Structure 1
Amino acid sequence: MKRIIDKIRSIPTGAKSAIVYTASSVFTRGLAIITVPIFTRLMTTEQIGVVNIYNSWYSLISAFATLSLTSGGFAVAMKDYSDKRDEYESSILTLTSIVAVAIALIYIIAPGFWQKVIGLSNSLIVLMLIGFLVAPARDFWLSRQRFEYKYKLAGFISIFTAFLASVISVFVVIYMSNHNIQSTATGRLFANYLIVYGVAGVIWFYIFLQGKTFYCKEYWKMSLAISVPLIGYNIAGQVLNVSDRMMISSMVNNSAVGIYGTLYTVSSLSLLVWQAINSSFVPYLFQNIDKDKHDIKKVSNLLLEAYAIISILMTFFAPEIVKILATKEYYDAIYIMPSIAAGVFFTSYANLYSNIAVYYKKTKYVMYPAIIAAGINLILNYIFIKMFGYMAAAYTTLFSYIVLAFLQAIWSKKVCIENDNDINSIYDNKKLFILAILTTLISLCAIPLYSNIYLRYLCIVIGLIVVLFMGRKIAQIKR
């Protein structure tokens, strides 16, 4: 025990911080998955659809409401204004608060119109507006804690908030279901977000009390110069992520949104793995990208190969996963999961290349592919959901993610040329391209196997053996 304690104490603070933040992120997302079987059995598909619509609209609008300040100039400012972090933090919180108030005023002018457009009740839109005001404070505070390697309090608050919000949401839904109260979606959302926004509201006041700076031209100018190009990227990315559910709601119904949204969440489970992989890979990439000798090709190939196998296995396990997490109402739509999982895989492919653009501070080259892919997704959804129903959205989204990935690769090549680097010296482009195509084809091959359990399980066993082999190879790479 003493040796174990000594080893824990000897771990660098940065490593401890990374472990805690990764663990809290996995725990938070894991709770969302664990509660799925409860909600799908207590709520109708239409009520689940309302929850999905709320989350989709919130994600889309918050991409603008936050001005992308946490993903843009925040880390740079923490370094440049190391002795004035409190003042900087409160100053940019004023910016996001002004945007939130402006969005609220736009809603107040014509509430009926916006309720019809968004497809939510007045109470849920007001809840959303509260989130736009206070949630950025929590994001800023957590980003600063992470930058300063202060992981204990941040980890505790993240885990405790997620746990409390999930538990109360479950109890509220159970109570409303037992008493035949129909608005369980509204009850679930209020129970969850009043906890989340309540904690964010406390942090909102704390930041202003600490910083006491409501406006600073220097801080605003620097932050917006870096973050503004990312606003377009984040909005386009959210359109690509959630427009399918919004369009299904308006063109079909909320019940279809509930089924599609739930299966989309299940199909995206592997993203937890990729986010952990990418967060570990990015520091290595940034430290070695301009060196003459490095192993970026070898590392990136192995990491993407391992993730490809995990994505494929998820599609082959889809029937079992859906039976655990959902009810019979969702089974008929199981055939959309392979295309969604393949689309999610292409986000990892795009991430590899967007990392290069971010390193060279050419964030506009991350924005362009996202905007084009989002536009294509909207057009294809409008055409094919009308023709073939809501399941068509899974395939239009897959195509849009393919476009995003390959456009990102093209623009990253341009970035490398502009900075006297060669993208072929960083990534094995041919191998990555072949891997992406094979992953898509193999994932889609799972569809006919859903009716043949023996052949499907044989493929799963082979895949697990390959995963173990890949794991051993990855373990041999130096950290």
Structure 2
Amino acid sequence: MDNNSSEALKSGIWYTTANFLTKSIGIITTPIFTRLLSKSDVGAFGNYTSWLAVFIILITFNLESTFISAKFDFEKEFDSYVSTMFLFSGCSSIAWLIIFNLFSSLFVTKMHLDIVYINCMCMYLFFLPAVNLYQTKERYRFGYKKSVLISSLIAIGTALISVLLVVFMSNKLAGRVWGSAIPTIIIGCFLVILLFKAGNKIKVEYIRYALPICLPFIPHLLSMTFLNSLDKMMITDIRGEEENALYSIAYQCSSVVTILVTSLNTAYSPWLGEKLHEKAYTDIRTFSKKYVLIFLSLAVGIMLISPDIMMIMGGKSYMEAQYVMPPVMLGCVCQFIYTMYVNVEQYQKKTVGMAIASVSAAMLNYVLNYLLIPKYGYIAAAYTTLISFLWLFIIHMILVRTIGYSKVYANKYIIGIVGVASVITVLVNLLYRNTILRYSIVVLYCITLLFFIVKNKDIIMRLLKKKA
């Protein structure tokens, strides 16, 4: 392995590990906030983060995604390219700040957010691109130490400042919102200076280069964001903040698995690209079967202990939301699997189908939520999201067959896995009524899992080392 490859591998491992750990800090602090905040405040913050996820895309344009080509096309002017991207996103956030305040009554009513929190969001989104652009630039230069340090400071700072503000402020929700923004704003101020110090030439040419790359991805990114956030928005709108609190905490408990999906894919996709280039489809099928089975076993384990996770994360007042966890976990399994197919589409640069699939899934989710949440409450949202993820799995499997890669994955085997996972989800839901039987199965599961790990230790080690 040459020096560049070694640095790239080291950088990738460090970034993936840091990304998983820093995002997990937010999950670890959840039990603190569920005990310090009222259900109404927890639900309101969940609604705030849902809208934040949408406006991150609308305001920042995901400009760092252009670096994969810009670092070569503007190799000698790359620092100036980066600072221009920040200036463009900064102007976008200021424009949105003006729009929000000019039509404040409209946005406050539709978003169910006070204008103070909307303005806080805009301040956060002014400085967030400085963090993302700087970190991405460093990662492309294999500067993983700086990237890890920044991620750690923001994650730890957000947790500490949020807890302190919630404890000492009379308005607990305000403390939670501002606490989530202040560390990024502070660190962003320093990074803005570093960005413009490194590259002080601003060129419209760079913006003209970036927008054609970013704009086509916005419908896809927005659709996926709405798919993950629409539930909480609609629960707040239709059923109120307290029901959204129940749903949000259950969803937060499962988010560690979503983070794991992203982290595992960071390791899996480069290996898959190499194998697709070599046309080593047998290797992919053999490896992916065990890869899917390992993830399914993890999801089942979390389903079995979901009541215990809910007790730790939320306490007795949130225990009724335990029934949200099994369908959400099954949705994570579908998400994990369809991401494997998406990797093939990205390898072939077939992104139009991705956008169509994402938009259709978001529309399906909206219609189902509109029909079912008023009647069945927040529980329905877990199943509407699951159906949307199943839809994405089916569509992406068909898309991969359409572009001529039907032999890459063992489709019948994977469909069987989803079927088995669906049956397990139903059974686990029934198990929640019998604690003794559930714990007996948890013990049996642990023994079986240990046997599986010992038997397949070689494939697991290859996965961890990014080799096959």
Fold match (TM-score > 0.5) = yes
Query: Match for residue 48 of structure 2?
Result: 54
C-alpha distance in 2, partners of 1:162/1:106? 30
> CA offset at residue 390 of structure 1?
1.8
C-alpha distance in 1, partners of 2:85/2:76? 16
Q: Summarize the alignment of residues 60-459 of structure 1 with structure 2, pairs less than 5 Å apart.
A: 60-71=54-65, 73-176=66-169, 181=170, 183-217=171-205, 219-294=206-281, 295-414=283-402, 416-417=403-404, 423-459=405-441
C-alpha distance in 1, partners of 2:297/2:396? 23
Render the CA deviation track for 1:46-101: whole Å, top value 9, x for unaligned. 11111111111000111222213223x22121233222210111222233223222
> CA offset at residue 320 of structure 1?
0.8
C-alpha distance in 1, partners of 2:417/2:44? 37
CA contact (8 A) 1:65 1:96 kept: yes
Query: Match for residue 3 of structure 1?
Result: none
CA contact (8 A) 1:63 1:231 kept: yes
C-alpha distance in 2, partners of 1:33/1:329? 18
C-alpha distance in 2, partners of 1:87/1:257? 44
> CA offset at residue 473 of structure 1?
5.0
TM-score (norm: length of structure 2): 0.93
Q: Which runs of 5+ in 2 are unaligned?
A: none
Q: 1:290 to 1:163 in 2, by over 3 A?
A: same
Render the CA deviation track for 1:413-459: whole Å, top value 9, x for unaligned. 33x33xxxxx2321111111111221122123211101212322233
> CA offset at residue 37 of structure 1?
1.0
Residue type of the partner of 1:274? V
C-alpha distance in 2, partners of 1:385/1:405? 23
Q: Which runs of 5+ in 1 are unaligned?
A: 1-8, 418-422
C-alpha distance in 2, partners of 1:138/1:232? 24
C-alpha distance in 1, partners of 2:422/2:57? 29
Render the CA deviation track for 1:257-312: whole Å, top value 9, x for unaligned. 11110111102322233222211110001112132335111222211110111011
SS of match in other structure, 2:35? helix
Residue type of the partner of 1:49? G
CA contact (8 A) 1:346 1:402 kept: yes
C-alpha distance in 1, partners of 2:182/2:255? 26
C-alpha distance in 1, partners of 2:150/2:255? 25
Moved over 6 A (4+): none
C-alpha distance in 1, partners of 2:37/2:411? 46
Tell me which moved more, 321-330 or 270-279: 270-279
C-alpha distance in 2, partners of 1:205/1:256? 43
SS of match in other structure, 1:424? coil
C-alpha distance in 2, partners of 1:293/1:389? 48
CA contact (8 A) 1:373 1:401 kept: yes
SS of match in other structure, 1:425? coil
Residue type of the partner of 1:207? L
Residue type of the partner of 2:195? I
Residue type of the partner of 1:18? G
Residue type of the partner of 1:433? I
SS of match in other structure, 1:235? helix
Q: 1:267 to 1:293 in 2, by over 3 A?
A: closer
SS of match in other structure, 2:391? helix
CA contact (8 A) 1:349 1:436 kept: no
Render the CA deviation track for 1:12-51: whole Å, top value 9, x for unaligned. 3223312321222122122111111111111111111111
User: Which structure has more helix as a fraction of its residues?
Assistant: 2
Query: Match for residue 34 of structure 1?
Result: 28
Tell me which moved more, 303-312 or 424-433: 424-433
Once superposed, what is the RMSD of the aligned Cα atoms?
2.0
CA contact (8 A) 2:81 2:202 kept: no
Render the CA deviation track for 1:92-127: whole Å, top value 9, x for unaligned. 223322322221222122112111111111211101
CA contact (8 A) 2:249 2:313 kept: no
Alignment equivalent of 2:13, drawn from 19, 30, 36: 19
C-alpha distance in 2, partners of 1:213/1:381? 48
Residue type of the partner of 2:198? Q
Residue type of the partner of 2:177? L
User: How many matched pairs?
Assistant: 458
C-alpha distance in 1, partners of 2:127/2:231? 27
C-alpha distance in 2, partners of 1:440/1:76? 41
SS of match in other structure, 1:70? helix
